[in-house]
Amino acid sequence: MTSPIPLRLALVMAGGVAGTAARIGLGLVLPTAAGSGLGAVPWATLIANIAGAFLIGVLAARLPGSSAMRVLLGTGVLGGFTTYSAFAVGTVTLWHANPLLAAAYAVGSVVLGIGAAAAGLDWARPRSTRTQAHG
């Protein structure tokens, strides 16, 4: 059942507030250090994006695309929690200090994010579907 547009918008906004606050909290717990070594890697962004990709995969496998819960949790909370802009800025900032590490971070983030989304889809898929998909 499709939610009316104002309700869907309110769900995305409320979820986005919660997800963004969670990402900021993670950034406060795992701040990025200055320098050019592994401490300069934006770990909070990497963790948020990989965990968020996994959870978005779980939601995609379990909730219908038009459900209010998927809009709230997927588009809202996890959309606010994961962030491409912070990933891009973190990569460019790291590039200035250590281009090789920045390239590894960028490629690793994308590969790990896709892998996490695939793992979330596979893990959350109902058993009968999972058995059919794997032969």
Q: Which residues are annotated as a binding site?
A: 79, 82
Binding region for Na(+): 79, 82
Contact (CB, 8 A) for 83 and 66: no
Report whether 58 contacts 123 (CB < 8 A).
yes
CA atoms of 106 and 90, how far apart (whole Å) = 9
CA 126 – CA 121 distance, rounded (Å)? 10
For residues 135 and 122, what is the distance between their CA atoms, to the nearest angstrom?
A: 14
Whether 67 and 9 have beta carbons less than 8 Å apart is answered as no
Neighbours of 17 (CB within 10 A): 13
